[in-house]
Amino acid sequence: MPDSQRHDETDVILAATGGMPALDTEMDVDAETEIEMAATKKLGIMGWLAIGWLALILVMAIIPGIFPFGELGERDIEALRNDEGVSIAHPFGFDSRGSDLATRVIYGCRASVIVSVGSILFGLVIGGILGLMSGYFRGRLDSVIVNVFNVMLAIPALVLALTLATVFASGDNVSYTRRLVVVTLAIGIVSVPILGRITRASTLTWSEREFVIAAKAMGARSHRIIIREVLPNVLPAMFSITLLGMAIAIITEGGLAVIGVGIPAELNTPSWGNLIATGRSQMLLGAPNQIVGPALFIFFTVLSLNYLGDVVRARFDVRESVL
Amino acid sequence: MAGSGKAHLSDNADEVLLRVENLTMHFPASGGKVVHAVTDISFDVRKGETLGLVGESGCGKSTTGKAILQMPPPTSGSVVFDGTDLTTLKKSQLREQRTQLQMIFQDPISSINPRKRIIDVVADPLRVWNRTENEETVVADALEAVGLEPELSKPKKRHEFSGGQCQRICIARALVLNPKLIICDEPVSALDVSVQAQILNILEDLKQQFGLTLVFIAHDLAVVKNVSDRVAVMYLGKMCEVADPDDLYHHPAHPYTNALLSAIPIPDPAAEQRENLGLSGELPSPMNPPSGCRFRTRCPRAEDRCAAEEPQMREIGDQHFVACHFPLVDMGPAETPVDVAVD
Amino acid sequence: MAKRTIRRIEAAPDADTSQPLLAVEDVRTSFNTAAGRVKAVDGVSFTLERGKTLGIVGESGSGKSVLSRSLLGLLPGRNVEKTGSVKLEGKELIGLSEEALREHWGIDMAMVFQDPMTSLNPVTKIGKQITESLRFHLHMPKDEAKETALALLQSVGIPSPAQRLKEYPHQLSGGMRQRIVIAIALACGPKLLFADEPTTALDVTVQAQILDLLQNLQEERFMSVVLVTHDLGVVAGRAHDIAVMYGGRLVEKAPTKQLFAEMKHPYTEALLESIPKLNHASHTRLAVIPGRPPNLIHPPAGCNFAPRCNYAQDRCLVEEPALTADTPGHEFACFFPVGSDEGRQALAANVAAGKSAAGTPVSLPARAHT
């Protein structure tokens, strides 16, 4: 059954024509041509806002110093004593040590970006390769990989992070970098089976398409077929999951920080997660403003990633179930 | 269980391009069962001819086509192509043979990678085999041969073409390596009626132009009859009858062929319709095919012998072979073959 | 060799034969898509008497499937525009809400679709699927519904019906499933049955059985059938009248024998000539219809078929031919119909010029049909 990528409009016509691919081949492709032309739609205001926000986060991660809210590590004891709250110069107020929270949140972007991008990239490469091989070759290799995925899926991120942190990053003299790597790796390992399964599902579908069989029939080797025929068609599915995965990675980082295995909340190592963690205890003492900053940033970032992930998914009509 | 016999195979090795003997394709199914898709069939394809393989669902014709290409390799049997038995080849040797054996599939749209440009699609076989000198010319010639304007078509992608045009592109792709044999697996079934005619005409023209040999697999007997030099009728994994198409139509010998012909509606209310013999019963499961002649459970002429002994192919007319104990052409009872194995 | 004929159906004593069962007038259905308005059905009119079969023949893009769904009111609501009139026994159907239409679905009219696997719910037992309709429309109690279901299965020729009631669709063959689909469609005794490519997904031997079944059921129940298909062979033996659709329009309509004996529209002729026929010799060159089906968003000015027609003249490129009938009952939309003087002259002119008025090279001269 011809199964080209469909969009809403084509669904209307297909529903009306009974979706009979075999006989409506001529009509389908004509309708598809129209749809392809129409699918280069504008992103819409929401889409551009999302992209804008993410771009801003990226800028903050790379050059946090350009923002005028103060230096990292600076402590304004005067402000503490005067119990200063939110103001224009300090939109998120101060934390219990007198550091400007806006600065800390902005500097925290770097950690969050590194963790989310790094972990998902890790998952994408390893999970993607495993998923591709599993979906294409099937048979025993597939069984083994699927079982590995199942085992990995059973491990909660938090337990894994705890274990890794204990083994590799315990003690007082652990560097920030090491802690960062441990967190990224923990989330990355957990994301491998998820990204792997999505890739495998997509690969299974595409490997059965007749153009793949045609490639085999003309004598192309497996690696050529996987890279040139299957992968370009699987990439859209993987890409949309990537964006969603990053959103989840950010939240997971927050969770890890709250239970104490994230990036330590030192003066020079803020991350959104540990800001919430430290802010949490202050909340009950009547200073809820401390979590507002990082929470808002997490909220908008996750929202933007989710929205774009959805846009990509709709554009390429990824039918696999999402996390 | 004895096979259907090889009476219909040619003795002249020079004229035969493909010789399939005792081909069996059995697939494991859940619960320890086995799907007997094709059991012990033999046939050959002569150089420059179009052999039509026709049958309804479950007859094994598509499986046979794929078996020739060793995709997957047969459970048993031999596939001798141009003197070489493909089933005995190592993976790398088999790969090399693939330049000579090409295939066209049922769904033309799905046979083309949606992300590739047409020039890349048609040039792909050349690139796989590093025959890229003159690539542009070879691709342009192939596209022209199938009736597509090369310069216009090359940069476009699949979605800009109709089903019929996609099938032409697939044919062009199959031609670039100058294969000796092209297997067409239901190439027109997914196309509109009026487009089918275009593709059938193209195949005929190309066959003349390039000296191709074709195996044409389809369920539509009218289409197969139109395009073939010889027709083989299959049922439930077995070969029933092999004959010249016109001969098959006018003098069907196998009861199944007759039933098939009588069921096909003719677009002419004034035409004489054959008496519809009405096949009784349902198609048996390929996991549990009937003993002896597999058609006996639905055959109006079946007798005890049909359950005990599998009929062998025998000649009943000029180049007309049938595997039946009681064929429709009156020629007396078949002799019992010496090597028959009774289960 | 027996001739297959369509038996004359005598009217059932209580049937209302004063007006046609179905009167379709100038139905137009279009879809609003991002690329424009797709005029899938562009002005179709016909009537259907009780007990008769109308065959609607067309290829992709002809609008035949959209038409049958339009008539039944089965199209999704958004982005669809439907105009015209569809009267079932005098009652207007266009404009009715889905709730009002539901009163007619199943009871007065029903539909059988192409693919029995997707028309049946794979996770519900057959028995439940049949009795569903009975209990909803006719408010039958459970036991009576079950008895009726058994009788229905028997009437469609299914062996061991009691066993089948408890089975799921995937346990049955394609032919059996289609019989069950027919049984479900006929459960409440509709007067009108739409069969949209009912046998295309089936083997040809099963096809003959299913078509025979439909014909028998139709005669027993004095039911009207609209048989939609792309296969001229199927309608040749089963329909009283045939309507040929092209590009959303009705291009020719005539009683079956008349159509084949004296086809008037060039498309009908071209269609017939492009099909490989069993009774012709092998390697017969097939006449090809050049070009592609029309773009339904921007249909060509004038006659839809002109860009591909062997007979096309200048007039065809600017003026849209209306349906006319010179012989009673035989309608066609063409200025230069096959077999007429104008047609012969037009074809001769084109053959001489090497191309039609639309610039299409004229392919093999069509066989003259007297």
Percent of chain C scoring above 90 in pLDDT: 31
pLDDT at C16: 61
Distance CA C194, CA C43 (A): 19
Percent of chain A scoring above 70 in pLDDT: 79
Chain C residues near residue B283 by CB distance under 8 angstroms: 173, 203
| CA dihedral over B54, B55, B56, B61, signed as positive or negative | negative
Mean confidence (pLDDT) of chain B: 88
pLDDT at A28: 38
Which pLDDT band holds residue A84 (cuts at 50, 70, 90)? low
Per-residue pLDDT reduced to its tens digit, A147-173: 999 998 888 877 887 788 778 776 666
What is the distance of C-alpha A186 from the center of its chain?
A: 14
Residues on C contacting A at a C-beta cutoff of 8 Å: 29, 31, 33-36, 38, 40, 59-61, 65-66, 69, 75-76, 78-80, 113-115, 196-197, 200, 230, 292-293, 295-297
Q: At what angle do helices A231-259 and A272-283 cross, to 10 degrees?
A: 30
Note whether A34 contacts C: Cβ–Cβ < 8 A. Answer: yes
pLDDT at A18: 36
Q: Give me B228's structure tokens.
A: 């073939």
Cross-strand partners of B19: B44, B80
Q: Provide the number of CB pairs (under 8 Å) joining chain A to chain B.
A: 92
Which pLDDT band holds residue C17 (cuts at 50, 70, 90)? low
C20-108+191-206+217-261 folds as Rossmann fold (3.40.50)
pLDDT at residue A227 greater than cutoff 90: yes
Which pLDDT band holds residue A317 (cuts at 50, 70, 90)? low
pLDDT at C363: 59
Task: Give A47 to chain B, closest Cα distance, Å.
Answer: 25
Chain C residues near residue B263 by CB distance under 8 angstroms: 204-205, 207-208
Which pLDDT band holds residue A229 (cuts at 50, 70, 90)? very high
Mean pLDDT of B33-53: 93
pLDDT at B52: 96
Percent of chain C scoring above 70 in pLDDT: 93
Q: Provide the number of CB pairs (under 8 Å) joining chain B to chain C.
A: 138
Q: Could you give the C-alpha distances from B154 to A281, B103, B123, in angstroms and in order? A: 66, 21, 10
pLDDT at residue A32 greater than cutoff 70: no
Contact A20 C65 (CB under 8 A): yes
Note whether B188 contacts A: Cβ–Cβ < 8 A. Answer: no
Per-residue pLDDT reduced to its tens digit, C242-276: 999 999 999 999 999 999 999 999 999 999 988 88
Q: What is the Rg, in whole angstroms, of the alpha carbon atoms belonging to chain C?
A: 22
Contact C65 A17 (CB under 8 A): yes
Per-residue pLDDT reduced to its tens digit, C299-324: 888 999 999 998 999 999 999 999 99
More reliable by pLDDT, B301 or C56: C56
Alpha-carbon torsion angle B8, B13, B17, B20, nearest 10: 50
Count CB neighbours of B92 within 10 A.
Answer: 9
Distance CA B334, CA B324 (A): 8
Mean pLDDT of C339-347: 89
Chain B residues near residue C292 by CB distance under 8 angstroms: 162
Which pLDDT band holds residue A23 (cuts at 50, 70, 90)? very low
Q: Give me A189's structure tokens.
A: 């390992």
Distance CA C286, CA B197 (A): 6
Most confident of B185-199, B317-331, C67-81: B185-199
Distance CA C166, CA B172 (A): 51
Considering only CA atoms, which of B130, B67, B174, B71 is closest in space to residue A213?
B71
Cross-strand partners of B322: B241, B314
Q: Give me B112's structure tokens.
A: 């083309």
Whole-prediction pTM: 0.83
Considering only CA atoms, which of B227, B223, B231, B228 is closest in space to residue B256?
B231
Chain B residues near residue A36 by CB distance under 8 angstroms: 159
CB neighbour class for A6 (10 Å; exposed up to 12, middle 13-18, buried from 19) = middle
Please name the residues in contact with C272: beta carbons below 8 A apart, sequence gap of 6 or more.
B267, C232, C260, C263
Distance CA C173, CA C179 (A): 10
**CB nearest to A12's CB, from C60, C76, C200:** C76
Which residues in chain B belong to E strands, given as ranges? 16-28, 34-46, 50-54, 76-81, 84-85, 101-104, 181-185, 213-218, 230-235, 238-243, 313-317, 320-323
Comparing A258-267, C35-44, C255-264, the range with the smallest average pLDDT is A258-267
pLDDT at residue C284 greater than cutoff 70: yes
Q: Do you know the residue count of chain A?
A: 323
Which pLDDT band holds residue B338 (cuts at 50, 70, 90)? very low
Mean pLDDT of A94-108: 79
Most confident of A260-264, B85-89, B326-330: B85-89
Percent of chain B scoring above 70 in pLDDT: 93
Percent of chain B scoring above 90 in pLDDT: 64
Contact C264, C321 (CB under 8 A): no
Please name the residues in contact with B201: beta carbons below 8 A apart, sequence gap of 6 or more.
C285, C286, C288
Helix and strand numbers (H, E) in chain C are 13, 12
Mean pLDDT of C31-54: 90
Which chains contact C through at least 3 pairs of Cβ atoms less than 8 Å apart? A, B
Which chains contact B through at least 3 pairs of Cβ atoms less than 8 Å apart? A, C
Mean pLDDT of B190-211: 91
pLDDT at B58: 85
Distance CA C53, CA C193 (A): 9
Considering only CA atoms, which of C191, C233, C244 is closest in space to residue B264?
C233
Contact B51, B39 (CB under 8 A): no
Mean pLDDT of A211-224: 91
Which pLDDT band holds residue B339 (cuts at 50, 70, 90)? very low
Q: Give me B280's structure tokens.
A: 């009784």
At C135, the amino acid letter reads: R
Give the domain ranges of chain C. 20-108+191-206+217-261, 119-189, 265-353
pLDDT at A99: 77
Mean pLDDT of C349-368: 73
Which of C227, C286, C308 is the best substitution to test chain B (most B C-beta atoms within 10 A)? Answer: C286
More reliable by pLDDT, C350 or B332: C350
Contact C40 A13 (CB under 8 A): yes
The ipTM (two decimal places) reads: 0.83
Cross-strand partners of B91: none
Comparing B211-215, B240-244, C93-97, C357-361, the range with the smallest average pLDDT is C357-361
pLDDT at residue B202 greater than cutoff 60: yes
Note whether B161 contacts A: Cβ–Cβ < 8 A. Answer: yes
Note whether C237 contacts B: Cβ–Cβ < 8 A. Answer: yes
Sheet of C324-327: strand order equals C109-112, C192-196, C224-229, C53-57, C241-246, C249-255, C330-332, C324-327
Mean confidence (pLDDT) of chain A: 77
Distance CA A166, CA A187 (A): 15
The string of DSSP letters for A194-254 reads HHHHHHHHHHHHHHTSHHHHHHHHTT--HHHHIIIIIHHHHHHHHHHHHHHHHHHHHHHHH
Which pLDDT band holds residue A105 (cuts at 50, 70, 90)? confident
Note whether B187 contacts A: Cβ–Cβ < 8 A. Answer: no
Distance CA C30, CA A12 (A): 11
Contact A233 B110 (CB under 8 A): no
Mean pLDDT of C7-25: 65
Q: Which structural domains are found in chain A, ordered by start?
A: 1-41 (no CATH), 45-316 (1.10.3720.10)
pLDDT at residue B178 greater than cutoff 80: yes
Which pLDDT band holds residue C353 (cuts at 50, 70, 90)? confident
Per-residue pLDDT reduced to its tens digit, C153-207: 988 888 888 988 999 998 888 888 999 999 888 888 899 999 999 988 888 888 8
Distance CA C201, CA C229 (A): 12
pLDDT at A149: 93
pLDDT at C86: 92
Distance CA B71, CA B74 (A): 8
Please name the residues in contact with C207: beta carbons below 8 A apart, sequence gap of 6 or more.
B263, B265, C199, C234
**CB nearest to B113's CB, from A3, A25, A229:** A229
At C235, the amino acid letter reads: V
pLDDT at residue C230 greater than cutoff 60: yes
pLDDT at A172: 66
Per-residue pLDDT reduced to its tens digit, C207-222: 888 898 999 999 988 9
Question: Which chain B residue's Cα is nearest to C272?
Answer: B267
Contact B161 A29 (CB under 8 A): yes
Contact B105 A232 (CB under 8 A): no
Strand, coil or helix: what is C301?
Answer: coil
pLDDT at residue A15 greater than cutoff 60: no
At A222, the amino acid letter reads: S
**CB nearest to B283's CB, from C173, C236, C271:** C173
pLDDT at A173: 67
